[in-house]
Structure 1
């Protein structure tokens, strides 16, 4: 379906996004006492709230007990589902029992009010770091074990739902929760032989149970979305992944986010939008990003009524319009450009700026010497994450972010 950047979008739950640009979830690393949101993170989201976004996706939240799931981001700043298992000290988290319930409620409500003070919907992303939770991160103790594949029975029960939604429903009246599907789900299901594996249906079961339990616990107007990272999949799993997406669509999710590549990449065999500022990519990167585009286009082709959010590589008005008007997606997610330009949507939507001006381009973050020497890709990616997290911290301090 052809759409315009400025065009509002009504999601199945009834929530209306004022435009098609969404600030993507990133790792802020600014939790305060008891892993609650405080003045620093509210300052940052207060700035984004003024930027004219269709919605703000928060950094991922840890909400409490073990197997709610879901996006695997090792860097600090996530909102995790279990305060015992954090991705880093700066993760936001809620827990089943708070020492001071009113303090917790007030902190989340202040955060929500700040995000939505100009009418922009807030999107709360929730996740679990799985076995990538480092020692010392979380309240399980230094010698406490991280949760690894098939180490514990899968019994998600009902108790965690109340712990999740009590803050997000009452503290965040307009909030949307996002159950991220990624490597953590694979950790729990890809080697199982019970009802949670090994088939596509079995691996989808935990996610479907989460969706259904959230639906039973919240009003019909509460929006539930799902995120898939195409980089976690390959061509051999493609049909199984499409089967799982069908299950999620039938379960009534309000949107599906696909990340893991770059739409505006010039190496995609003529597809997408050529951006002369892009750097030459490695063969592995070219393959991954070409798969990302195929993943997104096939999802749209097979599930035309599923609201699709595409996150990855958007830097220019032309690129965004190409995706929206070409029917590739319904919503565009913006990550790092949102850090360097807090009012990115205003730049994209204001006709006073030409297409040549309506862009946010920047150089790559320099790869650390050790990463170059050892050719360890994770160290290079970690440097980028750390750099942009540092710029978010500059915003929290009232300073101007710097492009790399």
Structure 2
């Protein structure tokens, strides 16, 4: 018994160990609430009461860092109907300042990082209703996501993306996007946030610029040094611009794919070189490793890909991403001499977290979906010395009704299934849990998917939320 107690204490101490970042900021422990779409409110806009309630619960939960869901730099191009945006209005700074104060005024006061994004060609006009259906998404190419090779996938693709993306050709338009990312970071710092994470993964616009699949013939952008690889021009201008326009203590982070998991996209060899190049710029404090696109959503659907070493559901995502970071970390300077490596996906028990830290697979551990059910996960379970390692497991739960919905919507595990549907069903259910927390209601692990659709999405978000959306848009 004493041996088990000592082991628990050792594990808790390992996870509780502070970490100094290159900019001098210290993370109080190794646990990061990873970015998850909050699902609160329709049609973009600034944080509202539900966000404050939700973030207050996370802030009291003992996390070292809280990373927001998508904050889109262009309100016309959303990844989901509930994304936060950065409208050019005097109330924007006030709203984001209030949310930061909600987090920092708690006793534990975790670091708060804003994830700034642009979904690129994956932005749907029909689902998000942020622009007319015939108004195209923008990207380095003229295309639309391919969600499946079968006829159902063909219908889904054209229903969600009625027209192909518009290819950005002029450098001036790329530079305007750069400015929006920089402006977003500047606003975040003015609002009291501790940093930003630039989203360059999951097939979003910056990832599309990096990928040979969506940007086969990249053109050089102005004001970029000759030694910068051409595919990194856009990301360089954004990160350098953020560095030049914010303070040293402001955290600069990036989310990057270790693989696109689609033929013709970025593979691990290319991703390794990209990460090493990013580190050589001495700009970043944190690099988060993820993977996949809407066509192959590894980041949101662990069952969509299989580990080369195991087929068990527990090891799919964790093994794939951890394999990449484990081979990378020995060749890069350890934080604070280099950026901290954040690994997210599948680390759903204390043993896996500790082994990932001790085996140098990462410096920080990101937890997403379990944080939707257990906002106080660090303090009540992971870092609770009275909870044994066997009890400190918080993944592996099933979503009631999800199999039926996957079958109905074409996301079942078949050859021509739509992997994005399966990932979306899980994502929406977890968003509904966050909506409950935002209303001051406990998460419900036993909530049937259809109940969530009717009560959380249709009633609270559409029927009650649409008038609020229209009023906010008008005012």
- TM-score normalised according to structure 1 size: 0.82
Q: Secondary structure at the residue paired with 1:60?
A: strand
Asked if structure 2 preserves the Cα contact closer than 8 Å seen for 1:81 and 1:126, the reply is: yes
Using a 3 Å threshold, how does the CA distance of structure 1 residues 383 and 236 change in structure 2: closer, same or farther? Answer: closer
Structure 2 residue corresponding to 1:168, chosen from 181, 188, 203: 188
- Once the two structures are superposed, residues 167-188 of structure 1 have per-residue CA deviations (whole angstroms, 9 ceiling, x without a partner) of 211112x421111212223433
Deviation at 1:325, TM superposition (A): 1.4
Kindly indicate which of the two structures has a greater share of residues assigned to helix. 2
Aligned 1:124-163 pairs, distance under 5 A: 124-135=114-125, 137=128, 139-150=130-141, 151-152=167-168, 153-154=170-171, 155-156=174-175, 159-160=179-180, 163=183
In structure 1, which of residues 220, 227, 230 is the aligned counterpart of residue 248 of structure 2?
Answer: 220
Are 2:350 and 2:389, in contact at CA under 8 Å, matched by a contact in 1?
A: yes
Rounded Cα–Cα distance in structure 1 between residues aligned with 2:43 and 2:417: 38
- How many residues align? The count is 366
Matches within 5 A, 1:288-327: 290-305=319-334, 306-327=339-360
Residue matched to 1:71: none
Displacement of 1:292 in angstroms is 2.3
Q: Distance in 1 between matches of 2:195 and 2:83?
A: 19
Whole-angstrom CA distance in 2 between matches of 1:312 and 1:330: 14
Match of 2:197 in 1: 178
The answer to whether structure 1 residue 108 and structure 2 residue 96 are counterparts is: yes
TM-score (norm: length of structure 2): 0.70
Residues 241 and 161 of structure 1, relative CA distance in 2, 3 Å threshold: closer
Q: Is contact 1:200-1:240 (8 Å) kept?
A: no
User: Partner residue of 2:233?
Assistant: 205
1:353 aligns with 2:387: yes
Whether the aligned pair in 1 keeps the contact of 2:182 and 2:241 (CA below 8 Å) is no
CA contact (8 A) 1:51 1:342 kept: yes
Write the distance in 1 (CA, Å) between the matches of 2:440 and 2:206: 38
Correspondence 1:245-324 to 2 at 5 A = 245-251=275-281, 252-260=283-291, 279=313, 290-305=319-334, 306-324=339-357
Contact 2:42 2:81 in 1 (8 A): no
* Displacement after TM superposition at 1:279 (Å): 3.8
CA contact (8 A) 2:43 2:82 kept: no
Q: Are 2:324 and 1:332 equivalent residues in the alignment?
A: no
Structure 1 residue 213: Cα displacement: 0.5
What's the CA shift string for 1:188-234, capped at 9, x where partnerless? 352224226xx992212211111101101111111111112334157
User: What is the CA-CA distance between 1:81 and the residue it aligns to?
Assistant: 1.1
Aligned twin of 2:464: none
Q: Distance in 2 between matches of 1:380 and 1:32?
A: 22
Structure 1 residues 23 and 193, CA, compared in 2 at 3 Å: closer, same or farther? closer
Structure 1 pair 356/159, CA: closer, same or farther in 2 (3 Å)?
closer
How far residue 363 of structure 1 moved from its aligned partner, in angstroms, is 2.2
Q: Deviations over 1:80-130 (max 9, x none)?
A: 1111211232111003x32xx1x2221111111112222111010011111
Q: Deviations over 1:301-352 (max 9, x none)?
A: 2214231111010111111111111221110001111111111111111211
SS in 1 for 2:199: strand
Q: Where do 5+ consecutive residues of structure 1 fail to align? A: 62-79
Q: 1: CA distance between counterparts of 2:39 and 2:53?
A: 13
Q: Distance in 1 between matches of 2:23 and 2:392?
A: 32
Alpha-carbon distance in 2 for matches of 1:233, 1:202: 22
Matched, 1:398 2:440: yes
CA–CA distance in structure 2, aligned partners of residues 28 and 221 of structure 1 = 27
Partner of 1:22, secondary structure, is strand
> 2:33–2:371: 8 Å Cα contact kept in structure 1?
yes
Q: Matched residues in 2 for 1:203 and 1:36: separation?
A: 32
**Compared CA separation, residues 161 and 259, structure 1 to 2 (3 A):** closer
Q: Which residue of 2 aligns with 1:89?
A: 81
Q: 1:293–1:117: structure 2 CA closer, same or farther, 3 Å change rule? A: same
1:188 aligns with 2:209: yes
Cα deviation, 1:12-52, whole Å, max 9, x if unaligned, reads 11221110000010011224686110100111111010000
How far is 1:6 from its partner?
A: 0.5
1:47 aligned to 2:39?
A: no
Tell me the CA shift for residue 398 of structure 1: 1.6
Aligned mate of 2:375, from 334, 337, 342: 342
